[in-house]
A and B are shown apart, each in its own frame.
Chain A
Amino acid sequence: MKPLRRIALPLLAAAAVVTAPGRAADPSADEIVTRSLEAFYYAGNDMRAKVQMKLINPQGKVREREMTMLRINLGKSGDQRYYLYFHGPADVKGTSFLVWKYPAKEDDRWIFVPTLKLVKRIAADDKRSSFVGSDFTYEDVSGRDLDDETHALVRKENLGGRPTYVVEGKPKASADYSRRLSWIDSERWLPLREEYLDARNEPLRTFTADKVEQTGKYWTVTARSMKNLQSGHRTEVVYREVEYDVGLKQDIFTERYLRDAPSQWVR
């Protein structure tokens, strides 16, 4: 998120100075989305969480994924590294993923297949593809670039007792949706609800933040769900043991630990 932090934060600071004496003017849509991406995907220098996913089909049948997620931010460049270790289900236990994420270009991704002790680099041109068979995309899990969409502030409203900005985003390149409406908490900057709509304005998917908790100085969406309104399939995710700034080192995000999970962090 290089352009973002470098440009948007000074802008925000300038805005704060200019408007401080009077009634706070609303930030621009881009500023709101910038702060939201920061709060949702970049909180802390690093992060550790246990993530539990329930994939629920329209008949109510449930599949589960349980993983440890480690993340580190690499300075101000916006580059990040993610490490994901699967604890279950039994057939994929021990599988791990490594992602080197860059805001403006394709990620580098690797998978480790424990039964073959195989590390394989995988092609990563699929930010809009389903993440491990869930209703979340890779992008939903690890973030997107501000410049992927144009943004407009639609209105302000209360949602579940929280003040929010409602922002409309339209993808610049053709995507599986035409429009996204985001309800962004105007104090904590987390997205509380998102609706994806198609060209005929029919709802495609809906994201909801079901539980928001504070860990140290950071707010985290610890329960979230994504529902596909066309298929009826939905995914519920719970983040447990969320910790920030635990002191993850960069070398954890390399082949060594992909092959051999760092037991200090993956429990």
Chain B
Amino acid sequence: MGILDFLKRKPEATATVARERLRIIVAQERSTRGAPDYLPMMRNELLEVIKKYVHVDLDAISINFERDSGHEILELSVTLPEGKQSAKSETKGEAKTG
């Protein structure tokens, strides 16, 4: 660090920000990789149906797609709002491939 460096404006260490943002988005995209293209649309339609009966928002539904040898597992989890008779209900559906 030279004497004259004190006069220069110190740049922000933005590489750390880039690294953290990439870690999150890459992990998220990998988790949905290989899943069918209809998944996001199905998620929205399911939400519409559920909304008819319970008031939930988009974040309340999570869909997981896993591939085992020979068969695929579609896991759908809906978190119902506090105060209802069951706080959380889980539904599982399995679909065979091939």
Decide if A and B are genuine partners.
no
- Chain B positions within 8 Å of A, measured between CB atoms, are none
